[in-house]
Structure 1
């Protein structure tokens, strides 16, 4: 999914009203009826709404499904990108978007600048790129709402990551400073350096090893486990910028973090530790062993008593950041929020699929983009529906009838139209007379 902002300057306020209407309608519809778009958008005339929809469809910011049983549109990821960027522009935290920095399994990374010209990083969450392949079969609520729900889950992931980064930065962890977030986008500090994956040599790799192990322990002592702590998510600062900082590394990527109370906490902790041990053994042929003659337990590796951290031996809670950010696994019996459950299901595959070859992931992404572009070239305003059985058709017909009721309720202003906690429209049958 490529980010193209060249058309943003030509969009009118009505165009953004239509996009916002589609965003709102998508919460309860995979295909938002045109009448509902007009009602939610608040444009003066239906003609103006239709004209705006047509313009947005040409730019592939909205799309229509082929063989749909009623006239309607859905918001594309490009349209969702525009809404997020527009929100940051309005808050004056974003001024321009630059080039692509990297493409990950569940996100795209771009260089951006603020109104003062300061370089920053924009991370765009795109859940569903890989996790959709492994999770969709056991998530019935995504059955007829693939696109809209993955946008919704991407927004939850961005919100959660911004929350994690904010509280970690405030507690003096070596993470990028977060500046802003909107929908599925998070803006953060630009770190001058390179991913540890590309590290060829280091002036003191023994100290780096110990510092990284201490980070894992410190994070756990504050109630959190990273769950994807490896060379892909650690940035080594360059020689110039490291002079102003205590440590020469910065840790990124937090939406999959869990609490130390999580049922699999020890497993995730041990995997994070093993990820660092494997990297240093492979890259520097550095494999320290435990030395009982040493008394120093303030670090790990050569010169210290322990070669690497142990969950049961080294973790002593000093703070409850996991409770503050409601990390997965904390006080599980007392939490039943649907949003938390949805996000937990989505990021589960991120925890299970860590350590995969990043280049292979980028290749898969490019192939997916090529497939999308081929579909767009075939028909810029239409997309094929997935194969459905007879049960799906019956369910879709029921959904269509429900949509018609909601549209009629919006137009007539009936009192029995309500919203649930997720913003979905619901017709309360008990209030009907």
Structure 2
């Protein structure tokens, strides 16, 4: 469902009270009964009924009467709640054009009252290939209390915490401004996705920057787990910025070395096949690939431990489930999809 913020201005305070009531009721109900919506919203004389009709018209809730009469929040309804919260905090005042669509997110330009431009990322866990969705739904199994909206909120909480921490420790990442529900507000970075680049003036320099960044993360106790051309921005000065952090894990993860090597291999493959720079054939390259075992011997500051201890301590248990959910079955599907795309390009 495509985000349309034009209707936001037409919603009343009571409309948002009812929308919030549906959200609150969703914590314990897949479909929130009408009676519970009335009770939570506290509106008298059938006020919630009128509001529900408005919310239905704008596709912010979905009606379901299969088992009983009730409603559930739609992804757009969740978008509206997050955007309204950020507006009420004075962080943003308008939503502009969509500037990106990720595997499991939508990216928009937004502005505040001073005209400053920021980036708003709305997490959309569950949007991926059919096979991956099936694998992830199978993973959830009996966790019926989890929903795509809740998992998206967890992803946003984690991304905000990691981005904020990395920025404060001097890593080339966007500055995290605010977070609400599944939305993360961050600074706009000067640069374009590395995947859009066909030629790099100093390939070795950029390659070494990428490998140095992977190594620096590991030396602080972290692995990105999706370090590739889609999650790297490059500017005119060949400086790279790393984005997308919900899947990051600790170097203490059971499969840490495998995940680290996967990140390294993604960069080697991109430069070799897409840029035409083959690291193994460069005699002046100081090191082709960083060694995980050597790096973790000299960890000087464990940001992974600090983040779990402070950033999202109250959600720590669910974050473990999110981590497994995001990583489950992902690499196999993505590798196969990349190979298929490369084969098509070679045929053309």
Same fold (TM over 0.5): yes
Q: Is the 8 A contact 1:289 1:306 kept in 2?
A: no
TM-score for the superposition, normalised by structure 2: 0.89
Does structure 2 conserve the Cα–Cα contact (< 8 Å) formed by 1:100 and 1:111? yes
Output aligned runs, 1:373-388, within 5 Å.
none
Aligned to 1:326: 308
> Is 1:345 paired with 2:343?
no
Runs of 4+ in 1 over 4 A off after TM superposition: 353-357
Shift of the alpha carbon at 1:140?
2.5
- Rate the CA distance shift 1:163–1:276 in 2: closer, same or farther, 3 A: same
1-structure distance, mates of 2:111, 2:127? 27
1:165–1:176 Cα contact (<8 Å) kept:
yes
Kept in 1: contact 2:32–2:71 (CA 8 A): yes
Question: Within 1, Cα distance between the matches of 2:242 and 2:40?
Answer: 41
Q: What is the distance in 2 between the residues matched to 1:24 and 1:219?
A: 37
Q: Is the 8 A contact 2:99 2:107 kept in 1?
A: yes
For the residues of structure 2 that align with 1:283 and 1:337, how far apart are their CA atoms? 39
Give distance in 1, aligned partners of 2:148 and 2:267. Answer: 31
Structure 1 match to 2:115: 117
* Contact 1:153–1:342 (8 Å) recurs in 2: no
Asked whether the equivalents of residues 195 and 234 of structure 1 are also in contact (C-alpha less than 8 Å), the reply is yes
Counterpart mapping for 1:17-416 below 5 A:
17-45=17-45, 47-65=46-64, 67-130=65-128, 131-143=132-144, 149-237=147-235, 239=236, 242=237, 248-289=239-280, 302-315=283-296, 316-326=298-308, 337-349=316-328, 351-352=330-331, 353-354=333-334, 356=337
User: Where does the alignment leave 5 or more consecutive residues of structure 1 unmatched?
Assistant: 291-300, 328-334, 361-433
CA offsets 1:346-372 (integer angstroms, 9 cap, x no match) = 212475344545x99xxxxxxxxxxxx
Deviation of the 1:204 alpha carbon: 1.1
SS in 2 for 1:100: strand
- Helix, strand or coil at the partner of 1:318: coil
Return the alpha-carbon distance in structure 2 between the equivalents of residues 72 and 313 of structure 1.
57
> Structure 2 stretches of 5 or more lacking a match?
342-348
TM-score by length of 1: 0.72
Report the Cα distance in structure 2 between the residues aligned to 1:85 and 1:233, rounded to whole angstroms: 24
Question: Conserved in 2, the CA contact under 8 Å of 1:127 and 1:346?
Answer: no
**3-state SS of the aligned residue for 1:122?**
strand
Aligned length: 331
Conserved? CA contact 2:193–2:231, under 8 Å: yes
CA distance in 2 between partners of 1:138 and 1:275 (Å): 26
Deviation of 1:200 after TM superposition, in Å, equals 1.8
Partner deviation per Cα, 1:290-323 (whole Å, 9 max, x = no partner): 9xxxxxxxxxx65354221111123321111001
Whether the 8 Å contact between 1:256 and 1:350 is mirrored in structure 2 is no
Higher relative CO (Cα under 8 Å, sequence separation at least 6) belongs to 1
Distance 1:341 1:218, change over 3 A: closer
Q: Is the 8 A contact 2:308 2:316 kept in 1?
A: no
CA RMSD of aligned residues (A): 2.3
Larger Rg computed on CA atoms? 1
Query: How big is each residue's C-alpha offset from its partner over 1:227-278, in whole Å with a ceiling of 9 and x where there is no partner?
Result: 00000000011x3xx4xxxx71100001000100111000011011111111
Question: What is the CA-CA distance between 1:149 and the residue it aligns to?
Answer: 1.1
